[in-house]
Each structure stands twice: as structure tokens, then as C-alpha cells.
């Protein structure tokens, strides 16, 4: 809801800290893991999700502070580094994570319920809206998914400037365009109908 700020430290245990930023007040801090932390987000029900080097943690508010629960990875996929996290629009407790091998994991509560192959190589960027989930990857592709990770359109952005590896991606509020940033320091806007450069 914009009231809390979450940070991950670069200390040995990659500590999580939660702040009430308007009051300049530290609410909670804890060790996360010795493995690198690569992504964090708030789910729509206020759970703090932290993904990293082969782990996924969910921090739920309890009277004493926050309770850490480890994510249950699917039997269909091995634990692997989580590179991006995004809450699923329109749900309370669902989160999608992208991985270093190009897979997407759909988490509900703390359980991985679905695994799909999304990109050839690392998933670098993701955003969620009422129109679906948009991902960008090391394969220079942008893909659109439903909230249940059913595939939609795929756009090849290989020829969008030098080093067109997608690093950030966002769909417009009307769902007609996608803007994305690349490793080559360019920003583009494309049509969601045919992928044309706008």
C-alpha cells in the first residue's frame, strides 16, 4: 500500500529491513540467507517475498513481528536462483518469480503450484497489470502471460539497438503498448498487437 519500505543489505546474511518510511522508523529486521538475494517484493496481502540463490522466503506479519516461511519448490523443478519477483494483479497471495534458467514459478501462499519455461536464458524483468504479466529475458524476447501463466504473445526485440537484452519491462494501463529498457541503454515502446516499434 506504499506505507512500508523493504530493503535487503549487502552484509554476510543479506539482512531484510522493513521501515515505516513516513515516520523514519525501523519496524523489523532479520537475517535472510548467506546466499545472494536477487529479488524482493510485497505481495498484495502484505507478505514480504525474498528470492535469491536457490531460496524463496515469505515473511508474514504476526504479533511478534514477521514469521519467515521457506517456499516449497515444485517437484517438477529444482531449486535455482530467483532473479525477479512480481505480485500477480487481482490476487491476494499469488506471486510470480523468474529464474536464472528462464522458468517462471507461480507461488500461492508459499507453494510453487506451476512451472513454465518462459525464456532461453535468465528472466531479467517482469511486471504485472490487469492485462496480464509481461516478462523480458536474456533471449531478447518479451512475452505476455495470463495470471495463471498461460502464454500469450511473444515479441522478438533482437534488432532494437545494440545489446537488446531486456532489463526492464512495463505494460501501459490500457494494455496497448509495452515499454522496455535494454542493456544497451535504450528505451523503446512497442505495440502489444503486432510488436511494431512505436
Whether the Cβ atoms of residue 188 and residue 197 lie closer than 8 Å to each other: yes
Give the alpha-carbon dihedral of 115, 121, 127, 132, to 10 degrees. -50
| In the predicted structure, residue 76 carries a pLDDT above the cut 80 | no
Whether the Cβ atoms of residue 149 and residue 111 lie closer than 8 Å to each other: no
Residue 112 is predicted with a pLDDT of 92
The one-character DSSP state at 138 is: T
pLDDT tens across 25-74, in order? 999 999 999 999 999 999 988 899 999 998 999 999 999 889 999 999 87
Residue 147 is predicted with a pLDDT of 92
pLDDT tens across 88-139, in order? 987 878 999 999 999 999 999 899 999 999 999 999 999 999 999 999 999 9
Q: pLDDT tier at 195 (50, 70, 90 boundaries)?
A: confident
pTM score, two decimals?
Answer: 0.90
| In the predicted structure, residue 77 carries a pLDDT above the cut 80 | no
Whether the Cβ atoms of residue 137 and residue 119 lie closer than 8 Å to each other: yes
Residue 90 is predicted with a pLDDT of 79
Cα dihedral sign, 150-156-157-162: positive
Residue 129 is predicted with a pLDDT of 92
The one-character DSSP state at 119 is: -
Residue 24 is predicted with a pLDDT of 94
Report the alpha-carbon distance of residue 193 to residue 74 in Å, rounded: 34
Buried-state track 15-39, b at ≥16 Cβ within 10 A, e below 16? ebebbeeeeeeeebebebbeeebbb
Query: Which has the closest alpha carbon to 195: 151, 150, 159?
Result: 159
Report long-range pairs for 157-162 (Cβ below 8 Å, ≥24 apart): 157/182, 157/188, 157/190, 157/195, 160/186, 160/188, 160/197, 161/186, 161/188, 162/186
pLDDT tens across 138-191, in order? 999 999 999 999 999 999 999 998 899 999 999 999 999 999 999 999 999 999
Q: What is the chain's Cα-based Rg?
A: 17
Residue 46 is predicted with a pLDDT of 87
Amino acid at each position: 500500500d506504499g506505507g512500508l519500505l523493504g530493503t535487503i543489505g549487502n552484509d554476510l546474511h543479506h539482512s531484510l529491513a522493513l521501515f515505516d518510511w513516513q515516520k523514519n522508523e525501523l519496524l523489523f529486521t532479520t537475517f535472510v540467507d548467506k546466499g545472494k538475494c536477487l529479488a524482493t517484493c510485497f505481495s498484495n496481502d502484505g507478505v514480504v517475498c525474498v528470492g535469491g540463490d536457490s531460496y524463496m522466503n515469505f515473511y508474514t506479519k504476526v504479533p511478534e513481528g514477521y514469521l519467515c516461511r521457506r517456499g516449497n519448490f515444485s517437484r517438477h523443478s529444482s531449486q535455482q536462483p530467483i532473479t525477479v519477483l512480481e505480485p500477480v494483479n487481482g490476487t491476494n497471495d499469488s506471486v510470480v518469480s523468474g529464474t536464472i534458467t528462464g522458468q517462471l514459478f507461480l507461488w500461492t501462499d508459499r507453494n510453487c503450484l506451476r512451472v513454465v519455461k518462459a525464456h532461453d536464458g535468465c528472466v531479467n524483468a517482469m511486471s504485472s497489470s490487469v492485462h496480464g504479466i509481461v516478462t523480458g529475458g536474456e533471449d531478447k524476447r518479451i512475452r505476455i502471460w495470463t495470471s495463471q501463466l498461460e502464454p500469450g504473445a511473444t515479441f522478438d526485440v533482437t534488432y532494437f539497438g545494440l545489446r537488446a537484452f531486456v532489463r526492464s519491462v512495463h505494460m501501459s494501463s490500457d494494455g496497448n503498448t509495452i515499454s522496455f529498457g535494454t542493456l544497451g541503454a535504450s528505451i523503446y515502446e512497442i505495440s502489444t498487437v503486432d510488436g511494431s516499434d512505436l
